[in-house]
Structure 1
Amino acid sequence: MSRTIVLAVSALAVSTPLQAAPIALEPSSKWNLSYDKEACRLVRIFGEGENQVAAQFVRYVPGPGFDMYVSGKSLDPQGKQFEYRFAPGDEPGEASNLLYGQNDEGMTTWQFSTGLVPHAEYKALEMEKPEDRKAAILRESDRAPTITSFEISKGVSQPVALQTGSLLKPLEAMGACMDDLMRSWGFDPQVQRNLISSPEPKSEPGRWVTPRDYPAGALRKNLSGSVRVRLDIDEAGEVTDCTIQQAFSDPAFRLSVCNLIKKRGRFKPAINAGGDPVKSFWGTSVVFITSGS
């Protein structure tokens, strides 16, 4: 039910010095789950003082996977490759749809898409297939109780190992939050979980928003950003609504994304357990990255 459209890709334009060893940061707050209109946000603070790091796990549509936002004064970009892992049980890997910038407190914030399925296993899955999505959800459920830490090992001035402990109960709470959100959007969570097939794009989503659609003002300023949207799809496969769920960008990006996707996006409808077309939803992120970012 979720897809990412990337308009351009570039590496971090900085040198590659030797990385320091990760420092272990213990929790300095409890998990806090907030219910937004379009997202479930799980937040926890780790460490103290200059080494304090805030971690957010955010879901905009049901799992598997989630977006992460990690902020801290010690997380300035360093090196050309950002690597992380959930430990134990995985090797460090590169982040998908990676963006970074400064938050209102002047701390570096990293945004990327991730999940608990180990990197190598995830690459073998085709997430557009319902059976692969269900396999990934089961894999995340199996792995959540075994997690002890989240580690950023490359790409920041001070690598960190956030001592999360088991993620079983936090992610169960996030799942209950997503069920409530689906009801508020007008969808039955049970029906959506048991779909034979989710809404399927009739054409490549990467053609719906192209580099030619990059907002001219943002391009002149060399601005990057991302916009996440939720599309409501009816029983005929028509897009009936487009909602901006999150924007990590200049306002110019938000203004064009929904109009372009509603104009160009076409879908096959979702099919329920009885074989009938039903209304559903489909999420995507449009990532804008200039060559100078």
Structure 2
Amino acid sequence: MKSLKFVVAILAAATMSFAAHAANWKPAGPWAADYGDDYCDLGRVFTDGKNQLTFMIERTQPGPLLRLMLVGEGVRPFRGAAQWSVKFGPTGQNWKAPILLSKTGDGKQYFDLGPTMMSPPAPGAPGAPPAFKPYKKDEERTAAKALSSFEIGEGLAEPITLETGSLDAPIGALQTCVSDLIASWGLDAKRHEALTKPVAPQGPANAWVPNGTIPFTEFRKALGGKNTFRIMVDETGKPTACVVQRATVPETVNKATCDAIMKNAKFTPAADAAGQAMPSYWITEVYGLMPPLGGGGGRR
């Protein structure tokens, strides 16, 4: 799948309807797409009349998870604040996101807002985990259609609202992109739409990679969805390939990590709608391969 960058005309034509009280950052252009071999990104520039912010939505595999990012000026977290309150408006649920700030190559602020979903799971009963529902693309589109802004409140010196317009068309574009994405990896996108069981590690993944393979000095470079590992897994649960996505740590570190995964990893294979084992993939960030703080885990 060739990397390409273009403006998606259909997204520019999406109807925008905003509440008057939530209109301090307006679009300065249409949605633009950046589709690569391992990611699907949509971005749009917003302005408050003085500053510009680029709001990015990323998806790297089928399913409900999205990663959100902000690049630009005009966002001022309180000094010492560790997290902020964010939501898709007007009816989305609030959630707390860590404030992870870095700089782009040209010196702009880069905030990684981490993973989320169009419809986060409803809280479970006291002491019970959240109630996750099977992912369905049409339900995600329905949820996105009702959302027309992105808001950051608690944690900022001045709360902001980005007037995104209906998110139905952008989410539809990402859904199409990730189907093409996994097809480019040699997998059956249609069978994955009816997946009944994803690939799962057998045992803790941090036991596969010897301690010290990924130095802690490199750990921060791989935060925020960077330098992820995509493991291709066949229908028997055997890893067949290890691909580094968006590498940010030295090639020698990534090669040693992939070599250890290919040698030591064991998986339970994915299953299709009929319950039959099928080739699929497993993606992890670096922290999923690191031993727990304080020791333990990992090979010595």
Asked whether the two chains share a fold, i.e. TM above 0.5, the reply is: yes
CA separation in 1, counterparts of 2:56 and 2:211? 30
Name the SS for the 2:27 alignment partner.
Answer: coil
Native 8 Å contact 2:22 2:163 kept in 1: no
Name the SS for the 1:82 alignment partner.
Answer: strand
| Length-normalised TM-score, structure 2 | 0.75
CA separation in 1, counterparts of 2:240 and 2:160? 44
Going from structure 1 to structure 2, the CA distance change for 1:54 and 1:245 (only over 3 Å counts) comes to: same
Query: Identical aligned pairs, as a percentage?
Result: 28
Deviation at 1:264, TM superposition (A): 3.6
Native 8 Å contact 1:194 1:272 kept in 2: yes
Report the equivalent of 1:47.
Answer: 47
Native 8 Å contact 1:53 1:71 kept in 2: yes
Report the equivalent of 1:84.
Answer: 86
Q: Does 1:134 align with 2:107?
A: no
| Length-normalised TM-score, structure 1 | 0.76
Unaligned runs of 5+ in 1: 1-20, 127-131
CA separation in 2, counterparts of 1:114 and 1:234? 28
Native 8 Å contact 2:92 2:147 kept in 1: no
Deviations 1:161-213 (A, max 9, x none): 11111111111111111121122111121111112211121113354468755
The ranges of structure 1 where at least 4 consecutive aligned residues each deviate by more than 6 angstroms after the TM superposition are none
Report the equivalent of 2:174.
Answer: 174
- Number of residue-to-residue matches in the alignment: 260
Going from structure 1 to structure 2, the CA distance change for 1:211 and 1:103 (only over 3 Å counts) comes to: farther
Going from structure 1 to structure 2, the CA distance change for 1:176 and 1:103 (only over 3 Å counts) comes to: same
Deviations 1:37-56 (A, max 9, x none): 11111111111565211011
CA separation in 2, counterparts of 1:143 and 1:188? 26
Going from structure 1 to structure 2, the CA distance change for 1:285 and 1:158 (only over 3 Å counts) comes to: farther
Going from structure 1 to structure 2, the CA distance change for 1:90 and 1:176 (only over 3 Å counts) comes to: closer
Larger deviation, residues 272-281 vs 186-195: 272-281
- More strand as a share of residues: 1
Deviation at 1:110, TM superposition (A): 1.4
The structure whose RCO (Cα within 8 Å, separation 6+) is larger is: 1
Report the equivalent of 1:124.
Answer: 130
Larger radius of gyration: 2
Aligned partner letter, 1:197:
K
